[in-house]
Amino acid sequence: MMKKYSTMAFALFFAFGAWSQKVVTAPLLTGENVAVTPTEAGKVRGYIHNGIYTYKGIPYAQAQRFQPPVKVKPWEGVRSSLTYGPVSPLINPTTQVMDESEFLFHHDWGYPNEDCLRLNVWTQGLNDGKKRPVMVWLHGGGYTAGSSQELPSYDGESISKKGDVVLVSINHRLNILGFLDLSEYGEKYKASANVSVLDMIAALQWVKANIVHFGGDPNNVTILGQSGGGGKVTLLMSAPSAKGLFHKAVVQSGIWANYGEQQVTRRVGAAVLKELGILPSQVDSIQKVPYEKLAAAGQRALKKVEDQLKAEGKPVPGFGFGLGWGPTIDVTLPYHPSDARALALSSDIPLIIGSTKNEFMNSLRNPALRKASAEEIKAYIQKQYSDKADAYIAAVKKAYPNDTRPNDLIDIDGFFRPGMVAQAIAKSSSSTAPVYSYLFAWQSPVMDGAYKAVHCMEIPFTMNNIARCEEMTGGGKEAYVLADKMSQAWINFARTGNPNHKGLPVWHNYSESNGATLIFDNQCVEKYNHDKEVLALMAQPGR
């Protein structure tokens, strides 16, 4: 009995010691002289949490409306950088949400201001001579929405702590503020169609000039992003003025498509001026138009130009969603991403590229399909594929033989995956650097498994943020195990350009012939052209 009580007492003493040690070491450190480091524009002060120096809302550039960014005006003293900076204003501010999906994504919308060129930094050390790999995160939301704080999975503390990397995330101008083409109306506006892209390049220039103060290596920078952020990674790979500012790239569920043409975007610019009653000779007055009025005029102009294109029998850009804001071929982006000259610009850049298995799945867009029977799902497929329905079903079962739910047949992504494969083929065929392809197939248990491997589901895993994203991942053991494997692959890639590690099967370089794709799931496996037949059927017209 005495031995039992002694063991218990020892355990209690050990637990109290661990608790008291935690209190003494203090997970959060703040103060006037805590986490202070210089930048080109002046000193900044952050805070320390779990051993990670954290800075939020640092200005990396400043800009007048529709004009290129310039260096920040230096400040005196120490600038407090403890909270996220302003986000780019949105055309349609969020005023209501869907309860269930908002529980899952847990957005932080931030506060809007056109002066939004801000970045955030997480690092283990300051001015210590260490050359830590730098990872620059580009947020999703297409080219019209989103911010560096929008999702909890974007937080950089965990991956910085695990991999001893410097994580940087940025805000930049979006929608009409980032992409209104006024290039016909004077030298100061000649780059207006892509000032959003110039913002991103300015952020990378800030990293090159300042990241050494945050313990980072300016000669080992990886750009990475998901959805719209993945598209931004691709456009930076296509931008001559971004050459040399980054050394590796990760495209997660990005869009692989041509950019706008100025014969269209200039028409939109002219239509916006007309909507606002501004004469070309008075173009500078657009600077003073309130954002809400500007945004509304922009939406009307887009619709009018779209209607004109249709009446003229011309194609409407926008992936079937209508004419919208996005990058344009101009002085900043002279090439489409598939152009051989664009591919040549990034031929020495190693790339990880992939998407999730389910992305924008049919059973979420149509809730009636969540619990549909096998017969109902087959009828749905027959409407979509007609006489190719049986071939489609057979191809899906061949690609994913372990699927069991009837709606698994219709929830395979056909929007992002084809473009990711096309980009992987183009890049691997023209590059001296390796390409690594992946598919995230892990199925979330949240909401009885209804959300599967939905769009954005992989981000908590690549950023090692399961604890911050329990609403999305469930926070179970399997999620932590997979996150450890995925985040380590991303860390290794940022460090060396090779994501392989002993926790994964060998991840081979992708080529068109081998179709080598690492499937991230509870059991990670590499497969070869596993879904080639499915993608071919999805691509057939009239299906």
Q: How far is CA 275 from the centre of its chain?
A: 33
Integer-rounded Cα Rg, in Å, for the chain is 25
CB 127 within 8 Å of CB 216 = no
Q: Two tokens at 322?
A: 């209508």
Which of 405, 318, 353 lies closest to 229, judged by CA? 353
Of residues 321, 292, 294, 102, the one with CA closest to residue 283: 294
Output the CA–CA distances (angstroms, integers) from residue 338 to 419, 423, 437, in the order listed.
11, 8, 18
Q: Is 227 a catalytic residue?
A: yes
Q: Which strands make up the sheet holding 78-80, listed edge to edge?
A: 36-39, 42-45, 78-80
**d(C-alpha 414, C-alpha 540), whole Å:** 12
Catalytic residue among 150, 306, 359, 458: 359
CB–CB of 166/123 below 8 Å? yes
Active-site position among 227, 253, 355, 363: 227
From the list 139, 172, 247, 455, the catalytic residue is 455
213 is catalytic: no
List the structure tokens of 539.
Answer: 């691509």
Cα–Cα distance, 494 to 135 (Å, whole number): 7
455 part of the active site? yes
Q: How far is CA 56 from CA 80, 119, 123, 167, 487, in A?
A: 9, 6, 12, 12, 22
Catalytic residues: 227, 359, 455
